């Protein structure tokens, strides 16, 4: 249980660093650390499949696409991030939402029933019942990458 808390604290600190840093590349790397930390939390919650999917999808695909977008569009690195009243309001709103979420989830703690699925059942559902949404998401990710390349080539 101690390892779970250590991973949780490191994940929260990386998420805060991701949001508060001015360097875009460091923010992406902090996002990768946050994703790995969340995968660790999944692993210690006995959801190994979610941990692997978290690392493969977010750690492998999303972070790689984001780094490619950063490399292909040099204007992103030149933008200067400043603290504004909008960001302060967004931070306060996020903390308020987090408080409401924690309050709600602690009230529902004993009312939620969890059903565990095997990896075989998840794979069967993903490739039969949810095959069309799965393919739509893959096409969306591919079109996002192609769009980033087209935008980068215009400059």
Q: Summarize pLDDT for 105-122 with one digit per residue, the tens.
A: 777 666 666 677 777 888
Work out the average pLDDT over 128-134.
Answer: 88
pLDDT tens per residue across span 1-54: 788 889 989 999 999 888 888 777 888 889 899 999 999 998 888 888 888 888
Q: What is the set of domains in the chain, with CATH numbers? A: 2-154 (1.20.120.1200)
DSSP 65-134: HHHHHHHH-HHHHHPPP---HHHHHHHHHHHHHHHHHHHHHHHTTTT-------HHHHHHHHHTTTHHHH
- The overall pTM is greater than 0.75: no
Chain position carrying tokens 């998401």: 137
Angle between helices 63-72 and 131-154 (to 10 degrees): 20
Contact 50, 108 (CB under 8 A): no
């Amino acid at each position: 249980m101690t390892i779970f808390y250590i991973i949780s604290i490191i994940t929260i600190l990386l998420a805060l660093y991701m949001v508060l840093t001015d360097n875009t590349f460091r923010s992406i790397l902090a996002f990768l650390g946050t994703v790995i930390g969340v995968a660790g939390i999944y692993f210690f919650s006995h959801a190994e499949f979610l941990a692997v999917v978290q690392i493969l999808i977010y750690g492998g695909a999303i972070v790689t696409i984001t780094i490619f977008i950063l490399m292909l569009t040099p204007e992103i690195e030149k933008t200067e991030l400043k603290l504004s009243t909008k960001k302060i309001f967004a931070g306060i709103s996020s903390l308020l939402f987090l408080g409401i979420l924690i309050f709600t989830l602690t009230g529902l703690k004993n009312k939620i029933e969890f059903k565990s699925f095997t990896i075989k059942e998840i794979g069967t559902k993903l490739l039969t019942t949810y095959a069309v949404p799965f393919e739509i998401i893959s096409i969306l990710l591919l079109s996002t990458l192609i769009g980033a390349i087209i935008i980068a080539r215009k400059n």
